[in-house]
Structure 1
Amino acid sequence: MDYEILAERARAALITAAMRRSTLTYGELARAIDFDPDVPVGHHMNRILDLVSQECIDRSEPSLAPLVVNERTGEPGKGYRDGGEPWHKSVRRCFHAWPPV
């Protein structure tokens, strides 16, 4: 599994979501990046989102990870680390960083 390629695809999908002022469920993101549907998403998505977050840090951007939510709760999963900022505030920072076109 090439996590770097999946992270690049995830970053693009999440930037699009930010520009649309929306979130994506883990399943929606998995489909958007052509993640193998026969493989449980679980820890793989955490690894992908960690890479996306690191890319954002390297670019001095807010992390895009807060835009990925659980389908049932509408909030991030257990692996999400908030960095001391409330989740909803992190989402708004993404929306401001990537304005609609």
Structure 2
Amino acid sequence: MPDIPKLPRTLGELRAAGYSTAGQTPPGVKDEIRDNLLAALRAGRDPWPGIVGFGDTVLPQLERALIAGHDVVLLGERGQGKTRLLRSLAALLDEWSPVIEGSELG
């Protein structure tokens, strides 16, 4: 069983924990992916484990697009790794996301 930290369960606990979006739009998925991709690149970690053969072509272009916040469309024949590449994007998302219990989105 993974060790799950005690997380805020109410809006008051979330605010008391220092999470605030006052005066700004909450960070979106694109921001989260960009920030985590940049952190991985700075740390020298491979953000694309298991992806082979695209290091000089697709991956640099994809990294630039994600860092710039662009939308991405992958086109190609079957078996070229499009799905594997997109599934690897999930590793660039934060493990935890604040959710208010009982809300429509929670």
**TM-score normalised by length of structure 2:** 0.28
Structure with greater proportional helix content? 1
Kindly indicate whether structure 1 or structure 2 has the higher relative contact order, using CA contacts under 8 Å at least 6 residues apart: 2
Greater Cα radius of gyration, structure 1 or 2: 2
